[in-house]
Structure 1
Amino acid sequence: MTADRRRDELMALAWNTSAPADVLLRLLRPEAADAWHALMSRALPDEVVDAAVVHPERRIRACLADSVLASGEQRGRLVDDPDRRVRQGLANAPMPFRGSVPPLPLSVQRRLLDDPEPAVRRDAAHFGGFDPQLIAGLADHAEADLRAASCGHWSLLSESTRDRLLHDPDDDVRRRARMEACRDDAGWTGVLLDTEPAYPSRRDVILHGAMTTALAGRIAASDDAGDREALALNLGAPFETVRKLADDSEHSVRLAVSVRPEFTEAERAAIDVVVRPSDRLLPVTWVRTCEDADVLRDCARSSHIWLRRSAACAAHLPADAVDLLSRDDDHAVRLLLCENQPTVDGEVVLRTYLECQVITKGLLLAHLNFPKAGLADRFADDPDPVKRALAVQDPGIPADVLARLLDDDDGGVRRAAAGHPALPPELLLRACDDPGTAGSALRNPALPPEVMHERLDALGVPR
């Protein structure tokens, strides 16, 4: 067996959701080190966490600290870890793709903010996602790093505390405080623009800072297209100043101007901009956060693709706008709609999945309305292997169809079939021994625990 195949099989067993605690505990052995990261990336029973917390190998403990599926209480047990790197990992909140993790207990958060190591305290304050009141309470801390973190919760600070931070002896604390203060005070916007020439701080100031007409005019006349683009996106900037940028020589500036909410649809359409199907554009903030159903309907009906894409991401998009955007000509609109709207019709999700070329397309299979029932009848004999693989998503797929797909000419179809829990036991065991399907078969939740143990025996992992 090659080293790659051995690693893949160990990882597959670690990811098997039905693996009992005694199998998972074997995977903590040094002989299963290739599976450690996978093992710590899944939900774990308490007895496995018990063993991981006191495991002699730091890598195990560090992976648990960074786990996106462990509970806050489970991760929090590492707060007294003897290795500073583990505690520092705990202080940095894991960041799953399009998700969040449960917070650490408040008692653990306080301990990390008082950790003996400065790096742990700093990361806990800035990157831990800790309780806002707790971080705001650091405004008078002796350490500048922690005072700077408190500025991120500006609205919770008193006027006297804000004033102290704005004039703090530490350069970084003053900068952070002034970055917050400039959102409401154009005076601080001007100060920062005169003292903070560096990107990205300067862009953030222009993007979010309060603006006088004179200050906005100065930025609009800048030779830097990035400055002008950021000004156009700042909804606090005087519109009459921004409107003049609709004829800017740079397309990026005109594009930023074109999504201002003040324009009528006709005025917007008159601006010379083009959004191509391949353009990757972040959702427009004012559209994504909009709660006005009528405004969102207008965005969904707009000829401007960027507004329609942004509306597809809005949490308060009304049902009729969801229906309208589900028929949009722009693939990105439909993809964003499926990714963000739980009520979109299942057939739209299916069609979007089949058209999709991005690496995250598999996430659409988890959409609540994805029409899994009946996929075997629809696709098991389709000439397209992508559709045949979808047939295996059908929870009611007949055993004989599943067996046929396990012998399909396409490797992706065979792997999909090997992971289906309805696969007959003898075929599941056969798939475990086939190098092309072993990874999927060993992750199959129908795999008997005794077979998992036997495979670990074969892989040289002691009982």
Structure 2
Amino acid sequence: MFDRGGNELSAIVFNTSAPADVLLRLLHPEAAGSWHAFIARVLPDEVVDAIVVHPDRRIRSILAESYAATGEQRGRLVDDPHHRVRQVLANAPIPFRATAPSLPLPVQRRLLDDPEPVVRRDAAFYGKFDARLIAGLSDHEDPYLREASCHSWSLLSESDRERLLHDPHDDVRQWARRTACRDDARWTGVLLESRLDDSPRHDVIQYGAMTSAIAGRVATSDDAGDRSALALNTGAPLDVVRKLADDAEHSVRLAVSVRPEFTEAERAAIDFTVEPSDRLRPVEWVRTCQDADVLRDCARSSHTWLRRSAAFAEHLPADAVELLSRDDDYAVRLLLCENQPTVDGEVVLRTYLECQVITKSLLLSHPNFPKAGLSDRFADDPDPVKRALAAQDPGIAVDVLARLLADDDSYVSSAAAGHTALPLGLLLRACDNPETATSALRNPGLPPEVMHERLDALGVPR
């Protein structure tokens, strides 16, 4: 069932102009349905003060996993009396396509030394803590923490590595060897002779150092996943990989086709296809490439997977960005707009209008999205998606905004209700309209006294 009250309360939490006294009211149990919104809300210190001592651990846990709070604010929960709150704190927040502030080093140390094993273990594996602290766990009595230290392999001494490679605990040994195999084919061979599940086995094959003998054995595996992983291993002997170009499995031939050594003619000679709807992870050697000329070659390639992968590359040169912005493959253009801040604004706009994925709205935050002038272009368009875009125009005329607020399409009227230029009278009317209330209550132009009145109406105590 649609919870209008809960949605309106959440909208007030999200309102960036909501002052501390409004947010403090929302900490009452009567507003618990809105607490999830605090995870994305920058919080004044007085609100953090109240959450840290709040009797309900649910709201304390939300602060613990907030990706908008500072590391210092979250770190105040390191002494929380409930270990589940500390466990949430030990896990790094995971905002979508963004990073969250790290916890202060003293807090990281405390969590790695927490009396509860589950807190220590989550901190070591999922906390994204300082690599030096994780390396310091290599001789910890808890095997899970020794296992975590393998993620800081480059910081370990030779004696620490050797000890972990022969650790008495199976999982520790396997992680140490899976890490060591990237530089030492001896451990690649040892691991492939052991009984690994498919996922770690494929990981070892794709990233492990390879001798011709090991690669030759993998190339004859009955598992197509083994053969695909081998083809994607840029350190695997090319003469072995070439033999997989005629493999019976399309996934294997496709993996072979993106070898960095191949020419365009060699790629074209392989029987593979990439459909517009295919979801493919970026080819790693392309995504991490820093050579502008190599990235230009990928952007010019007839191979769709290489062009999609180039769109991810942090070091993609400007001329390659411009070339890919005209690509025939929609996924290339979408990935380009999602990953390249220099894409021309009109390309971002066209991509937005064509977009069918749930992350479409993120394109509106692209630094080059051409918001100025959108009302002149789209306010009278028959397409409601375009009319809603008119409400993104910072310079929209008030009479046009009022007309959009009265639009029969709720998508358009809701977009208009969130515009900061909306006159107060119209904004108050939008707050009382079920179709636009949520958007209007998030409008930063809403006076705090109106927020308090709405909380009164929704039964939240003063």
Identify the residue that residue 449 of structure 2 maps to in structure 1: 450
Alignment partners' CA distance in 1, 2:396 and 2:108: 48
Q: Deviations over 1:399-428 (max 9, x none)?
A: 000000011111100100011111111110
**Residues 281-430 of structure 1 mapped to structure 2, 5 A cutoff:** 281-430=280-429
Query: Does the CA contact (< 8 Å) of 1:41 and 1:63 recur in 2?
Result: no
Q: CA deviation at 1:197?
A: 2.8
Q: CA deviation at 1:39?
A: 2.3
Q: CA deviation at 1:78?
A: 0.2
Q: Deviations over 1:197-221 (max 9, x none)?
A: 3121111111111111011010000
Q: Which runs of 4+ in 1 moved over 4 A?
A: none
Alignment partners' CA distance in 2, 1:39 and 1:339: 26
Alignment partners' CA distance in 1, 2:447 and 2:263: 64
Q: CA deviation at 1:158?
A: 1.0
Q: Larger deviation: 34-43 or 374-383?
A: 34-43
Identify the residue that residue 198 of structure 1 maps to in structure 2: 197
Alignment partners' CA distance in 1, 2:262 and 2:235: 15
**Residues 14-53 of structure 1 mapped to structure 2, 5 A cutoff:** 14-53=13-52
Query: Does the CA contact (< 8 Å) of 2:287 and 2:309 recur in 1?
Result: yes
Q: CA deviation at 1:187?
A: 1.0
Q: Deviations over 1:339-372 (max 9, x none)?
A: 1111110000000000000000100000000000
Please tell me whether residue 8 in structure 1 is matched to residue 7 in structure 2.
Answer: yes
TM-score, normalised to structure 2's length? 0.99
Q: 1:3 to 1:212 in 2, by over 3 A?
A: closer
Alignment partners' CA distance in 2, 1:402 and 1:89: 43
**Residues 166-177 of structure 1 mapped to structure 2, 5 A cutoff:** 166-177=165-176
Q: Deviations over 1:404-457 (max 9, x none)?
A: 001111110010001111111111000000011100000110000000000000
**Residues 171-186 of structure 1 mapped to structure 2, 5 A cutoff:** 171-186=170-185
Q: Deviations over 1:22-52 (max 9, x none)?
A: 0000000011010111123211111101100
Query: Does the CA contact (< 8 Å) of 1:138 and 1:150 recur in 2?
Result: yes
Q: Deviations over 1:200-249 (max 9, x none)?
A: 11111111111110110100001110100000001111111001101100
> Unpaired runs of 5+ in structure 2?
none
Q: CA deviation at 1:84?
A: 0.4
Aligned residue for 1:90, secondary structure, equals helix
TM-score, normalised to structure 1's length? 0.99
Query: Does the CA contact (< 8 Å) of 1:291 and 1:316 recur in 2?
Result: yes
Q: Deviations over 1:54-74 (max 9, x none)?
A: 100000000000101111000
Identify the residue that residue 114 of structure 2 maps to in structure 1: 115
User: What's the RMSD between the two structures over aligned residues?
Assistant: 0.8
Q: Which amino acid aligns with 1:119?
A: V
Q: Deviations over 1:88-146 (max 9, x none)?
A: 00000011111111110000000001100000000101100000001001101111111
Identify the residue that residue 249 of structure 2 maps to in structure 1: 250
Query: Does the CA contact (< 8 Å) of 2:38 and 2:66 recur in 1?
Result: no
Q: Which amino acid aligns with 1:450?
A: E
Identify the residue that residue 84 of structure 2 maps to in structure 1: 85
**Residues 271-282 of structure 1 mapped to structure 2, 5 A cutoff:** 271-282=270-281
Alignment partners' CA distance in 2, 1:448 and 1:237: 64
Identify the residue that residue 214 of structure 1 maps to in structure 2: 213
Q: CA deviation at 1:3?
A: 6.8
Alignment partners' CA distance in 2, 1:176 and 1:7: 45
Query: Does the CA contact (< 8 Å) of 1:189 and 1:211 recur in 2?
Result: yes
Aligned residue for 1:78, secondary structure, equals helix
Identify the residue that residue 140 of structure 1 maps to in structure 2: 139
Equivalences, count: 462
